[in-house]
Amino acid sequence: MSASNGAEESGAMPRLKDGTLVRDLFDHGKRQVQLRVHHDAEIFDLEMERIFAKSWLPVAHESEIPNPGDFVRRYMGQDSCLVVRGDDGGISVLLNACSHRGMALCREEKGKAANFKCPYHGWAFSKEGRFMAAPFEKQMYGDQLRRDTEDLGLVTAKTGMLAGMVFANWDHEAESFQDYLGDFGWYLQAALERTNRGLEVVGPPQRHIMRANWKLLAEQLADGYHARALHQSAGDMGTLGHNPNDPASWGLIGINVSTPGGHTLRCIDMRLAYNFEGLSAEASAKERLAAIPPPGANPAMVAEFGQNLTDGQIALIADTPPLVMGLFPGTDFFTLMSVSGSEDGSHGPVMVARTWIPRAPDLFEMLTWILVEKDAPEDLREKTKRTTVRNFGISGYIEQDDAEAWQGIQKVVQGPVGRKLTGKYQAQLGIVKPDDFHGGGDVHAGFSRDDAQWAWWKRYAEVMSN
């Protein structure tokens, strides 16, 4: 059996054309990864088949398509898809390819459709992807077009939802969405599903192209270590690191969490990073949240948290709130306070969801959604929008720093000598779980080391090698 660009698979063990077994790209003893993983077209093709055709991927926020017939066109890996609201309010994710001869069905970015009609020969499909009709059906096919026995409908993905974000997976045999989230569902609900009415997006996602391999972003999510050097300029502006020599102020002290499934989470220790002056030492988690509401919330929303979250989840977002939440392979959420760009120099909330779509070994497209609470008053909504675009997306202070690293490494791996280097992840803390910490997964409490990042690579290696 061979993959599309020549990577041979002997049994279940993929081997590259130069004879290298894919599993040998990873040294688990030394915790190193060969940097050629960011360059080789053969590896890219294997990723599309083994990861992106079989993983849960975010495609839209449900608030982008509120009414029956509303749709957006997106990508899952290299496959174009339509995310469509049906007449019953349900959401379908359809391969954007006609079942007749494979023509791209829809070329609009977004719109409203009663059904989808192929521009080539005119076959028509329902909002759920069912075959409806073919022009001149009797003259063309007589009674041979076997709608009853042949599947003439569009390829569909199965769907799941988190905080209104619609996820889809082409593989109907894949684990359920809840199983995919596993222990991470608890953390993500605490950070994102805390209010009665939940979240919505502010407009369509920002889109931009990055000249780098998609993994350079994905594996970086758990890397706290880079903040002090790469984000120095953001620190100088007051975005991060209000005390340059204090690791807590750079978000380096806290709790990292990882799972065998490759999800990674970085929680900062609010008790170290913020000054709770004026609150008594015995203040409860709810009192502290009411005094300093988490990003995107106000005191009225904090009062609702108890209806939606457990005491353990409330303690999490009061003491060690998730800052960076990464889901393998292509999703992250950030919730933090940062400089808003206002003339008064104040901080505001960042609430963002992102996905990265591999286009080529050295190119990915980024989609960045701004999230707000549906109940957010206009001033909070405006401040969240302003602060988020100042920090993330094409105009973001933080993201522009990160993009330097993604593109800087990508330039190195273009070279035949450079790509023989390895990425190194030896700084391991191990499992350290405080007694009063309620979350699951592999918990690494303390200085943010490489544990969670290496967990991401272990999952990647497992999916690519076996």
Give the interface with Fe ion as residue ranges (CB under 5 A).
402
229-to-232, 247, 402 alpha-carbon distances in Å: 5, 12, 11
Q: How far is the CB of 449 from Fe ion (least distance, A)?
A: 16
**Of 3, 53, 103, 113, which lies in the binding site for ligand FES, with binding defined by CB under 6 A?**
103
Q: Taking CB under 6 A as the rule, does residue 118 contact ligand FES?
A: yes
CB 71 within 8 A of CB 83: yes
Q: What DSSP element (H or E) covers 350?
A: strand 347-360
Question: Could you tell which of Fe ion, ligand FES, none binds residue 377, using a CB distance below 5 to 8 A set by kind?
Answer: none
For the CB of residue 119, give the shortest distance to ligand FES in the complex, in Å. 8
Phi and psi of 41, rounded to 5°?
-65, -35
Q: Per rule CB under 6 A, is residue 100 in the interface with ligand FES? A: yes
Residue 70 or 451 with smaller CB distance to Fe ion: 451
Alpha-carbon distance of 86 to 112, in angstroms, equals: 11
With both helix axes pointing from N to C terminus, report the angle between 184-192 and 311-319 in degrees, rounded to the nearest 10: 70
Nearer of residues 101 and 242 to ligand FES, judged by Cβ: 101
| 25 vs 105, beta carbon nearer ligand FES | 105
Residue 123 in contact with ligand FES, rule: CB under 6 A: yes
**Residue 325 in the binding site for ligand FES (CB under 6 A):** no
Smallest separation (angstroms) from Fe ion to the CB of 172: 36
For ligand FES, the closer of residues 72 and 98 by Cβ is 98
Are the CB atoms for 274 and 292 separated by under 8 Å? yes
Extended beta strands in 215-304, E state: 253-258, 264-268
Shortest distance (Å) from residue 244 CB to Fe ion: 16
User: Which residue lies nearer to ligand FES by CB, 103 or 291?
Assistant: 103
237 interacts with, out of ligand FES, Fe ion, none, CB within 5 to 8 A per kind: none
Beta strands in 273-346 (DSSP E): 322-327, 331-339
Nearest Cα to Cα of residue 148 among 164, 123, 174, 130: 130
Closer residue to ligand FES, CB minimum distance, 116 or 305: 116
Nearest to 361 by CA among 2, 13, 1, 5: 5
- 3-state secondary structure (DSSP) of residue 397: helix
What does the per-residue mask of binding to ligand FES show for 331-370, with x meaning CB under 6 A?
Answer: ----------------------------------------
Least distance to Fe ion from the beta carbon of 402, Å?
4
Out of ligand FES, Fe ion, none, what residue 90 binds, judged by CB under 5 to 8 A for its kind, is none
| Binding segment toward ligand FES, per CB under 6 A, in 119-127, 172-180, 220-228, 352-360 | 119-127
Q: Rule CB under 6 A: is residue 146 a binding residue for ligand FES?
A: no
98 sits near ligand FES (criterion: CB under 6 A)? yes
Query: What is the closest distance, in whole angstroms, from the C-beta atom of residue 94 to ligand FES in the complex?
Result: 14
User: How does DSSP classify residue 122?
Assistant: -
CA 250 to each of CA 220, 296, 320: distance values in angstroms, whole numbers, following the listed order: 16, 21, 14
Q: Which listed residue (24, 87, 112, 120) binds ligand FES by CB under 6 A?
A: 120
131 binds ligand FES (CB under 6 A): no
Nearer to ligand FES, 120 or 141 (CB): 120
Q: Which two tokens stand for residue 304?
A: 């609702």
| Residue whose CB is less far from ligand FES, 107 or 172 | 107
* Half-sphere CA count of 377, side-chain side, radius 13 A: 5
DSSP state at residue 1: -
Peptide bond into 329 cis (omega under 30): yes
Nearest distance in Å: CB 82, ligand FES? 14
Smaller CB distance to ligand FES: residue 89 or 119?
Answer: 119
Determine the length of the chain.
Answer: 466
Rule CB under 6 A: say whether 121 interacts with ligand FES.
yes
Chain center to CA of 227: 20
Other CB atoms within a 10 A radius of the CB of residue 233 amount to 13
Asked if 97 interacts with ligand FES (CB under 6 A), we say: no
The strand ranges marked E within 54-155 are 57-61, 70-76, 79-85, 91-95, 110-112, 116-117, 124-125, 131-133
Nearer to Fe ion, 75 or 397 (CB): 397
Q: Among Fe ion, ligand FES, none, what binds residue 101 when CB lies within 5 to 8 Å by partner kind?
A: ligand FES
Tokens of 287: 């009192």
What's the rounded Cα separation, in Å, for the pair 81 and 97?
8
Q: Count the residues of the shown chain that bind ligand FES, applying the rule CB under 6 A.
A: 9
Q: Which window, 99-107, 145-153, 157-165, 325-333, contacts ligand FES (CB under 6 A)?
A: 99-107
Contact indicator for 198, 163 with CB cutoff of 8 Å: yes
Among 101, 112, 197, 226, binds ligand FES (CB under 6 A): 101
Binding site for ligand FES (CB under 6 A): 98, 100-101, 103, 118, 120-123
